[in-house]
Amino acid sequence: RADGARLWATIHETAAFGGTPNGGINRLTLSAEDGQVRDWFRDACEAAGLAVSVDALGTQYALRRGRDMSRPPVAFGSHLDTQPTGGKFDGVLGVLAGLEVMRTLNDAGIETEAPLMVVNWTNEEGSRFAPAMMASAAYAGDFTADEILAKRDAAGVTVAEALDAIGYRGDVAVGGQTIGAFVELHIEQGPILEAEAKTIGVVEGGQGIAWFDGAITGFESHAGTTPMPRRRDALLALSEFALAAERIALDHAPSAVATVGEAAILAPSRNVVPGRVAFTLDIRDPRSATLDAMEAALHAAAAEIGARRNLTVELARIWRKEPVPFDARVVAAVEAAAENLGHPRRRIVSGAGHDACNLAARVPTAMIFVPCKDGVSHNESESATQGDCAAGADVLLQTVLRLANA
């Protein structure tokens, strides 16, 4: 059994790096605060006797030796970066529970057959640099390291520059660290487990995701003198598009979601009709065909709005992640561990993207969910109980022991 109180203490200790007055965390990937929590994590891993290495995209790997070092390590972990309005659990729980697994095994003097490894993946959140789960995608071969290193944030800073700024451009080749199996513990970030009073979600896979960059080009004009019918108002076009995206998601209820998460007027002024707007769009569904149908409907809406309002609505897909099924054997190991520990549980599909969804393409993978309050995440008020976090850590511990000793 993991030490739930120790895990809880590390969660609250590290929440200080980027902590906000509202009890959340603002720790964008590769920021100074992310550098601080990475240093903390490295030091804690080394104090636990783990060998820490860093790859060219900054992902941290902390290895605990096994009896049979010819076997690839059983890995687990998640991410330490957060959203700008992030909570204390998203990602953090999975990494710190991984550390807790190592500490528990050390305390009990337990050796495993295969080595174990806890991983902190770079830029899971995708808020500063798109796409999300960037480093794990490169690990799985979806992108080259150079493609990722060249991506820029809104201020024009590249991933390479951001890595150098905090000293986390490591020497392990991306994808060079072999992994035998991967298990990720995470809060559900949705309402299902809480509603059904289940402590453990046995995650069978992740839904599909597509991300778009949008640009609307109308014409700036005077707010006092331009008659309504002559306007080419980019904000009104965005308004119609955002509402169309909501309707298109509802057309595929209850599974589909669509979100315009960023939207900015260029050169805004109170008395200027907005001429140019930039925005982002995120759509998701567990079925690939539904994503296709939504994409088609969104392009049709953009074209219709553009033609009617005499402006251009551009929509460029920058990322698409197909729905991912997890590995049956690893899912079964999670289920057996939860059963053995007597936790109420259910099978579940992840609504959020996770590094595990990328790993699954290359490594037998599954996930463990625990409930979070009201299903709220990507919010400073995100909350989970000490008991549920400890239960998740226990299931993680039992699962990795099964996998490493099998």
Ligand X SMILES: NC(=O)NCCC(=O)O
Give the C-alpha separation, 156 to 54, whole Å. Answer: 24
- For residue 85, the 8-state DSSP code is T
Does 236 bind its own copies (CB under 8 A)? Our answer is: yes
Give the C-alpha separation, 6 to 77, whole Å. Answer: 17
Count of alpha carbons within 13 angstroms of residue 128, beta-carbon side: 23
Does 352 bind ligand X (CB under 6 A)? Our answer is: yes
Beta carbon of residue 48, minimum distance to its own copies (angstroms, whole number): 31
DSSP letter string, 314-371: EEEEEEEE--EEPPHHHHHHHHHHHHHHT--EEEEEESS--HHHHHTTTS-EEEEEE-
Q: What is the pattern of x (binds its own copies, CB under 8 A) and - over residues 81-120?
A: --xxx-----------------------------------
Total interface residues for ligand X by CB under 6 A: 13
Please select the residue that binds ligand X; options are 25, 354, 360, 402, rule is CB under 6 A: 354
Does 260 bind ligand X (CB under 6 A)? Our answer is: no
- For residue 27, the 8-state DSSP code is -
Please identify, using beta-carbon distances, which residue of 181 and 203 lies nearer to its own copies. Answer: 203
The token duo for 352 is: 């959020």
Beta carbon of residue 347, minimum distance to ligand X (angstroms, whole number): 19
Please identify, using beta-carbon distances, which residue of 23 and 261 lies nearer to its own copies. Answer: 261
Please identify, using beta-carbon distances, which residue of 162 and 257 lies nearer to ligand X. Answer: 257
Q: State the binding partner of 100 from ligand X, its own copies, none, CB within 5 to 8 A by kind.
A: none
Beta carbon of residue 361, minimum distance to its own copies (angstroms, whole number): 19
Does 126 bind ligand X (CB under 6 A)? Our answer is: yes
Q: What is the pattern of x (binds ligand X, CB under 6 A) and - over residues 213-232?
A: ---------xxx--------
Please identify, using beta-carbon distances, which residue of 229 and 270 lies nearer to ligand X. Answer: 270
Does 382 bind ligand X (CB under 6 A)? Our answer is: no
Closest CA to 157 of 349, 28, 282, 341: 28
Total interface residues for its own copies by CB under 8 A: 71
Beta carbon of residue 284, minimum distance to ligand X (angstroms, whole number): 8
CA distances from 218 to 183, 230, 233, 264, 274 (A): 48, 11, 6, 14, 8
Beta carbon of residue 227, minimum distance to ligand X (angstroms, whole number): 15
Task: Please give the sequence-ordered ranges of beta strands (E in DSSP) within 163-229, or none if there are none.
Answer: 181-187, 200-206, 208-217, 221-222
Q: Which contiguous run of DSSP H or E holds residue 266?
A: none
Q: State the binding partner of 52 from ligand X, its own copies, none, CB within 5 to 8 A by kind.
A: none
The residues near 210 (Cβ < 8 Å, ≥ 6 apart) are 282, 283, 284, 291, 295, 317, 319, 320, 321
Please select the residue that binds its own copies; options are 74, 149, 193, 273, rule is CB under 8 A: 273
The residues near 186 (Cβ < 8 Å, ≥ 6 apart) are 78, 90, 91, 93, 94, 350, 352, 354, 367, 368, 369, 370
Q: What is the pattern of x (binds ligand X, CB under 6 A) and - over residues 34-73?
A: ----------------------------------------
Q: Which contiguous run of DSSP H or E holds residue 95?
A: helix 92-108
Please select the residue that binds ligand X; options are 33, 81, 124, 233, rule is CB under 6 A: 124
Beta carbon of residue 225, minimum distance to its own copies (angstroms, whole number): 4
Please identify, using beta-carbon distances, which residue of 306 and 353 lies nearer to ligand X. Answer: 353
Does 239 bind its own copies (CB under 8 A)? Our answer is: yes
Question: What is the footprint of ligand X within residues 77-116 (CB under 6 A)?
Answer: 90
Q: What is the dihedral of CA 367, 368, 373, 374, to 10 degrees?
A: 50
Please identify, using beta-carbon distances, which residue of 50 and 57 lies nearer to ligand X. Answer: 57
- B/e letters for 98-109, b = 16+ CB within 10 Å, e = fewer, are bbbbbbbbeeee
Amino acid at 84: P
Q: State the binding partner of 124 from its own copies, ligand X, none, CB within 5 to 8 A by kind.
A: ligand X
List interacting residues with ligand X (CB under 6 A). Answer: 90, 124-126, 132, 189, 222-224, 271, 352-354
